[in-house]
Amino acid sequence: MKTKILLLMILLLLITGCTLRKQSEPTPPPQNGDRLPEPGLKTRETVFYLPDQDWRVLVPVRIHIPWEEGIARATVGYLTEGNLPAQAMDTGLIPLLPAGTEVLGLAIRDGLARIDLSSSFLDYNPEDERMVINGLVYTLTEFPTITDVEILVEGEKAEFPGMTTTGVFGREFGVNLEVAEGLDDFSQTDRITLYFLLPAGENVFYVPVTRVIPEPEDRVFTVIEELLKGPAFSNILMTSLSAGVTLESTRVQGGKVTVHFSGDLTSGGGGQLAADRIRHQLALTLTEITGITEVEVLVDGQQPTFPPGVQFPETFTRPKLWNLIDSTQ
What letter would DSSP give residue 168? Answer: E
Out of 14-23, 75-84, 267-276, 303-312, which region has the weakest mean confidence (pLDDT)? 14-23
Q: CB of 146 within 8 A of CB of 75? A: no
Write down the pLDDT at residue 138: 96
Q: CB of 175 within 8 A of CB of 27? A: yes
Alpha-carbon gap, residue 153 to 138, rounded angstroms: 19
131 in helix, strand or coil?
helix
Query: Is 34 a residue whose pLDDT tops 70?
Result: no
Contacts of 65 (CB under 8 A, 6+ apart): 43, 44, 46, 71, 74, 75, 78, 85
Bridge pairing between strands 245-253 and 256-263: antiparallel
265 in helix, strand or coil?
coil
Query: Is 266 a residue whose pLDDT tops 80?
Result: no
Q: CB of 28 within 8 A of CB of 208? A: yes
* C-beta atoms surrounding 251 within 10 Å: 12
Q: CB of 164 within 8 A of CB of 12? A: yes
Q: CB of 239 within 8 A of CB of 231? A: yes
pLDDT digits (tens, 9 = 90+) for 222-252: 999 999 999 987 789 999 998 889 999 999 9
Alpha-carbon gap, residue 215 to 219, rounded angstroms: 8
Alpha-carbon gap, residue 61 to 109, rounded angstroms: 26
pLDDT digits (tens, 9 = 90+) for 161-180: 877 666 789 988 789 999 88
